[in-house]
């Protein structure tokens, strides 16, 4: 997971000094536009040693990273960073149990004469969509309700804790799933083999695809269950498959909670889905590449979906589900950069099926792959193992392993969320009531 929040940054003077010295590589200028200000750092044209990122303004300021374009009202900023800057950002964030905490804009934004207008457009579109969600949350007059269905109740009972345990144990047995390893896909081929075996054992057809990326050699995995009567409408269920523990990739990174857990939840939900009738809407299960380095896989996938005008009606992100920091069956629901309508849907499914406690919280921009989809205008929801201040403190270290601190009964709730969306939402005609 890639966390950004209002946590206090305690960065050493040496770190800030290093960041400042790196910043002198940049050329400085200032853009002032209505409601926005770009300041202190715009790369020279043709400077390919820097890449653009979108992140929380407060985090970048705390790290003294030169800002290229900022929206202070919404705490968002675009910065061009060198590899050294990225290392410093990641090192500082990891010390706070965060991760990269940003979205890479490589392939979306580049140094050019239209930099100011392009930057404004990226942030303005994001802010406009965020504002629509806030307006819906403030003005909605009725609450969503879900009628219980015996078929869904039977399917939920078929989810197995022991399967979750086996998947997490297997995924965390890889020394690392870091996207910058010499072989960043060592876990991908055996994962695909297992998915194909699961599909062969199921009752309905599904297809496994590998997705190549421009900004990482690691591949994302997609499993598609083609819909029937509303196949052009897509429900996305995703989580990142990579792990990290240290910038260089030399550290052991088992990533049991972050994010073998969310990956396992999706695998177990898929197993049950494959033994149900085909849904009306198409299901796409994703295991994203390179989330820990700036949402690399999901950023390209969501961008491509928007370019193709893909009708994605909902996006679920599962990232860390094993540590019951607020107590068993008390889960978090991130309210920033997620859909107010889908958060209502989460509450409705809880009322009907889950009967747990949902605690709202925030995690900042770029905390996980849902941000990529949200920025492209798609409805997203991100249930989480707890609220941010009680999350698993062992993530991004070699200690993120199976232990008695983790709770698979708690984690099974998230497989239930994925399965309900796959069987209820994917068989309905409801959509977000605004665009």
Q: CA 270, 271, 275, 281: dihedral to nearest 10 degrees?
A: 0
pLDDT at residue 29, as a whole number: 34
Q: What CA–CA distance (Å, rounded) separates 181 from 169?
A: 21
Helices first, then strands: H and E counts in the chain: 12, 15
What does the pLDDT look like over 6-41, one tens digit per residue?
333 333 333 333 333 333 333 333 333 334 444 444
pLDDT of residue 137: 85
* Mean pLDDT value across residues 190-209: 98
Span 363-379, mean pLDDT? Answer: 94
Chain centre distance of CA 386: 16
The label of the residue with tokens 């054992």 reads 201
Work out the number of other CB atoms within 10 angstroms of the CB of residue 116.
18
If you search the block for the tokens 């853009």, which residue do you land on?
A: 31
pLDDT band of residue 113 (cuts 50, 70, 90) is: low
> For residues 241 and 140, which has the higher predicted lDDT (pLDDT)?
241
Q: How far apart are the first and last CA of the chain?
A: 28
In the block, residue with structure tokens 């715009």: 42
Give which of 135, 85, 95 is closest to 12, Cα–Cα. Answer: 95
For the entire predicted model, the pTM comes to 0.90
pLDDT of residue 139: 79
Residue 220 pLDDT level (bands cut at 50, 70, 90): very high
Domains and CATH numbers, the chain: 13-130 (no CATH), 144-427 (3.40.630.10)
The span from the CA of 235 to the CA of 286, in Å, is 11
CA distances for 164 relative to 167, 263, 264, 299, angstroms: 5, 9, 6, 27
**pLDDT score recorded for residue 316:** 98
pLDDT for 247:
67
Helices marked H in 98-187 — which ranges?
115-139, 150-157, 161-171
Measured distance CA(374)–CA(127) in Å, rounded: 10
Where on the phi/psi map is residue 41: left (φ > 0), alpha (ψ -120 to 50), or beta?
beta
Q: Does residue 417 sit in helix, strand or coil? A: helix
Q: How confident is the model at residue 94 (pLDDT cuts 50, 70, 90)?
A: low
């Amino acid at each position: 997971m890639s966390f950004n929040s209002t946590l206090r940054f305690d960065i050493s003077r040496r770190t800030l000094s290093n960041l400042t010295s790196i910043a002198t590589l940049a050329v400085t200028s200032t853009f002032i536009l209505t409601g926005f200000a770009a300041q202190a750092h715009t790369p020279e044209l043709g400077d390919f040693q820097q890449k653009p990122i979108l992140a929380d303004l407060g985090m970048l300021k705390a790290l003294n990273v030169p800002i290229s374009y900022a929206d202070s009202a919404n705490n968002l900023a675009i910065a061009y960073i060198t590899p050294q800057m990225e290392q410093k950002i990641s090192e500082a964030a990891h010390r706070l149990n965060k991760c990269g905490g940003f979205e890479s804009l490589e392939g979306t934004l580049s140094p050019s004469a239209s930099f100011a207008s392009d930057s404004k457009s990226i942030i303005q579109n994001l802010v406009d969509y965020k504002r629509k969600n806030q307006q819906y949350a403030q003005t909605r007059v009725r609450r969503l309700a879900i009628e219980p269905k015996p078929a869904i109740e039977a399917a939920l009972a078929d989810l197995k804790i022991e399967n979750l345990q086996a998947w997490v144990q297997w995924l965390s047995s890889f020394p690392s799933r870091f996207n910058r390893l010499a072989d960043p896909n060592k876990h991908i081929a055996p994962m695909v083999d297992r998915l194909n075996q699961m599909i062969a054992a199921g009752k309905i057809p599904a297809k496994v695809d590998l997705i190549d990326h421009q900004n990482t050699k690691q591949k994302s995995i997609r499993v598609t269950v083609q819909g029937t009567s509303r196949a052009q409408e897509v429900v996305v269920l995703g989580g990142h498959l990579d792990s990290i523990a240290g910038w260089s990739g030399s550290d052991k990174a088992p990533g049991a909670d972050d994010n073998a857990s969310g990956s396992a939840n999706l695998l177990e939900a898929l197993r049950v889905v494959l033994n149900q009738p085909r849904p009306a809407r198409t299901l796409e299960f994703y295991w994203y590449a390179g989330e820990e380095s700036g949402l690399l896989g999901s950023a390209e996938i969501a961008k491509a979906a928007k370019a193709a005008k893909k009708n994605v009606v909902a996006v679920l992100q599962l990232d860390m589900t094993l540590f019951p920091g607020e107590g068993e069956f008390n889960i978090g629901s991130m309210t920033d950069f997620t859909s107010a309508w889908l958060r209502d849907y989460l509450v409705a499914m809880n009322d009907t099926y889950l009967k747990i406690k949902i605690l709202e919280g925030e995690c900042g921009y770029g905390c996980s792959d849902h941000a990529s989809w949200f920025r492209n205008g798609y409805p997203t929801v991100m249930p989480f193992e707890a609220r941010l201040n009680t999350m698993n403190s062992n993530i991004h270290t070699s200690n993120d392993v199976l232990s008695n601190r983790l709770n698979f009964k708690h984690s099974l709730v998230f497989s239930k969320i994925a399965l309900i969306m796959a069987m209820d939402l994917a068989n309905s005609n409801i959509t977000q009531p605004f665009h």
